[in-house]
């Protein structure tokens, strides 16, 4: 299954759902930093996430309790794989070299990146 990339707003809501595991729009809104977006904005983004296949819901009358169906690790692995393929020609070495020049990363961090991309974690 190919993981679609999330917008910044979608990712912010997914981070909250991954943390709280399940919740209503009000629960998501409560966990957001100030200034909080409008209730309708959060509701719309959650419905978009559901259409994209990241979130599902359980109905309680007219209310919906949302929960993630794509876990954080799967999203991260898919996202990093897309970055690897789209920007570094699929070469882990090129990506690690780029990161080591742009950001001071340790050998252990480089090893962790390689393991993650290989799906070993």
The pLDDT of residue 85 is 86
Q: Which residue, 11, 10, 40, is CA-closest to 26? A: 40
b/e per residue 80-92 (b: at least 16 CB within 10 A)? bbeebeeebeeeb
Residue ranges of alpha helices (H) inside 21-106 are: 25-31, 39-51, 72-88, 92-102
Domains of the chain, by residue range, sit at: 8-68, 72-118
What six digits make up the tokens of 73? 């690790």
The pLDDT of residue 79 is 84
Report the C-alpha dihedral over residues 27, 32, 34, 38, rounded to 10 degrees: -60
CA 59 to chain centre: 24
Q: What is the CA radius of gyration of the chain?
A: 17
Run means of pLDDT, 10 residues per run, the chain, 121 residues: 80 96 97 95 96 95 96 86 85 79 76 72 53
Pick the CATH number of 8-68 from 3.40.50.12780, 3.30.460.80, 3.10.20.90, 1.10.10.10: 1.10.10.10
pTM of the model: 0.74
């Amino acid at each position: 299954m190919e993981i679609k990339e999330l917008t910044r707003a979608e990712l912010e809501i997914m981070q909250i759902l991954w943390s709280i595991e399940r919740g209503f729009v009000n629960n998501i809104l409560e966990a957001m930093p100030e200034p909080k977006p409008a209730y309708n904005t959060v509701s719309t983004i959650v419905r978009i996430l559901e259409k994209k296949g990241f979130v599902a819901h359980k109905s309680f009358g007219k209310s919906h309790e949302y929960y993630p169906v794509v876990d954080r690790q799967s999203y991260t692995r898919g996202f990093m794989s897309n970055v690897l393929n789209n920007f570094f020609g699929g070469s882990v070495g090129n990506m690690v070299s780029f990161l080591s020049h742009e950001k001071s990363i340790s050998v252990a961090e480089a090893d962790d990146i390689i393991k993650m991309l290989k799906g070993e974690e």
